């Protein structure tokens, strides 16, 4: 919640800090591929995308996607959101052919 608020305020470094702290707490009790970790990875990706740090955004979006592919049904709607996020980053990077592959 705090990470989202800081992201909305444009305080991206603080947002990342809160999301990373959330991940740290969750990873103490959950397996690495637990579905509840995916949204936090995705949120961190969103912050990095907002900062224009597209390589970092891809890193976190891909972590989220990997968890979703492992832990959720292949037709789960979060899968489509993950592909969309990755595609948008490729568009931001000007890599339109990669974006098309993802979409």
CATH number, residue 76: 1.25.40.10
Average pLDDT on 11-24 reads 94
Residues of the domain holding 19: 2-102
Output the pLDDT for position 9.
92
| Cα distances (Å, whole numbers) of residue 8 to 36, 37, 46, 63, 81 | 22, 21, 11, 22, 19
pTM (predicted TM-score)? 0.90
Output the pLDDT for position 78.
84
As for how many domains the chain has, the answer is 1
Q: Give pLDDT tens digits for 40-90.
A: 999 999 999 999 999 999 999 999 999 999 988 888 888 999 999 999 999
Rounded to a whole number of angstroms, the CA Rg of the chain reads 13
């Amino acid at each position: 919640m705090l990470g989202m608020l800081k992201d909305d305020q444009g305080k991206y470094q603080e947002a990342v800090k809160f999301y990373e702290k959330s991940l740290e707490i969750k990873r103490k009790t959950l397996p690495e591929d637990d579905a509840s970790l995916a949204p936090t990875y995705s949120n961190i990706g969103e912050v990095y995308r907002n900062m224009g740090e597209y390589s970092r955004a891809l890193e976190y979006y891909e972590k989220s996607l990997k968890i979703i592919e492992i832990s959720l049904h292949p037709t789960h709607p979060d899968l489509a959101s993950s592909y969309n996020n990755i595609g948008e980053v490729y568009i931001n990077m000007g890599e339109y052919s990669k974006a098309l592959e993802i979409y």
